Amino acid sequence: MTTSAVAPDLRYPIGRFKAEPSYSDAQRAAMVQDIADLPAKLRAAVAGLNDSQLETPYRDGGWTVRQTVHHVADSHVNSYIRFRFAVTEDNPTIKPYNEQTWAELADAKHEPVEVSLKLLEALHHRWVVLLRSFKAEDWNRTIVHPERGQLDMNVNLALYSWHCKHHVAHITELKKRNGW
Ligand code: NI
């Protein structure tokens, strides 16, 4: 036999992000709901895990479960701020951050996951209020990422809807593989 099953790409359990050419109101509402649901879903994903499970990388060479939870907080505080810039400034250039080095900082590497779960609960509350206040034209507002170029708030919302599910799946898939 020369063929073999392709191993699942543990880095992309729900596949890579892919933007649609356009988004309907119903799609946007569903994606905002994904943002609303993340804190509870992430909390459920890590519920009952002990310290040694939290220190387990979700894949070889990947972040630990603990770092993954703290990364979601790192990422989403940045995203929340980018949405705020987008509706208060004209096509602002946003500041990227190095997610790998941020994940190695003391608070993101060692603190209890509860700290970021609480942060995400408060953050997503405000984020969802902001997103649900957007008028139709606000979704066309843009930001400029210095490396990735310009993107509008439709695509930015889609990206973070995906991002919520992507990282929850890292944890739920690890639990499945390990029988936790
Ligand atoms: Ni991420």
- pLDDT by residue (tens digit) across 148-168? 999 999 999 999 999 999 999
5 pLDDT more than 90: no
pTM to 2 decimal places: 0.95
Nearest to 180 by CA among 47, 14, 69, 11: 47
| Ordered DSSP codes for the chain | ----PPPP-TT-TT------S---HHHHHHHHHHHHHHHHHHHHHHTT--HHHHTSBSSTTS-BHHHHHHHHHHHHHHHHHHHHHHHHSSSPBP----HHHHHTSHHHHHS-HHHHHHHHHHHHHHHHHHHHT--GGGGG-EEEETTTEEEEHHHHHHHHHHHHHHHHHHHHHHHHHHT-
**Distance, CA 158 to ligand 1 centroid (Å)?**
14
Q: What is the pLDDT of residues 82-111, one digit of tens each?
A: 999 999 999 999 999 999 999 999 999 999
**Distance, CA 2 to ligand 1 centroid (Å)?**
35
Predicted local confidence at residue 7, as pLDDT: 72
Of all residues in the chain, what percent carry a pLDDT higher than 90?
95
CATH tag, 30-178: 1.20.120.450
Q: Provide the residue ranges of all domains of the chain, joining segments of one domain with +.
A: 30-178
**Distance, CA 1 to ligand 1 centroid (Å)?**
37
**Distance, CA 88 to ligand 1 centroid (Å)?**
25
**Distance, CA 3 to ligand 1 centroid (Å)?**
32
